């Protein structure tokens, strides 16, 4: 069986980009279909079709992540099975978004993670809380 390229398509979200914050939407392209996740759940689109996503999305780049041995039918079945974990009502801008979906799908289909710069873990409240605690502890230690 021939291996097929596993591509990650990345889009800028213009209203975040305008604010100087690099927030991105991503979708996984395999067998000529792009799979993604958003507030309506998982969905399929024509690869790199930012117009279908909406005016605020602008195609940025395609990243070759690896290869997959799964057939088109296998991929559709796998996406269908993980879609229950990625329902629209479970979407969260920071904690459960398109990049998490793409990372999980990438792990299953080609055994690789998506680039870490797409996951803005520093935006999560827990990480922010730890950063603030460390900063306060550092400031208090300097006051002694």
Known catalytic residues are 25, 98
| DSSP helix/strand/coil, 74 | helix
Across 32-71, b (16+ Cβ under 10 Å) vs e yields ebbbbbbeeebbebebbebeebeeebebbeeeebeebebe
Residues comprising the chain, all counted = 144
């Amino acid at each position: 069986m021939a291996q097929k390229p596993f591509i990650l398509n990345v889009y800028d979200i213009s209203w975040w980009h305008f604010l100087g914050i690099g927030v991105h939407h991503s979708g996984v392209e395999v067998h000529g279909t792009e799979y993604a996740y958003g507030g309506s759940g998982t969905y399929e689109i024509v690869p790199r079709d930012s117009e279908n996503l909406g005016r605020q999305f602008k195609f940025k780049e395609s990243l070759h992540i690896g290869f997959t041995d799964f057939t088109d039918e296998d991929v559709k079945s796998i996406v269908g099975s993980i879609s229950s974990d990625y329902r629209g009502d479970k979407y969260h801008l920071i904690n459960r978004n398109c990049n998490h979906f793409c990372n999980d799908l990438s792990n299953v289909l080609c055994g690789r993670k998506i680039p870490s710069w797409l996951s803005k873990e520093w935006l999560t409240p827990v990480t922010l809380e730890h950063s603030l605690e460390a900063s306060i502890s550092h400031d208090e230690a300097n006051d002694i």
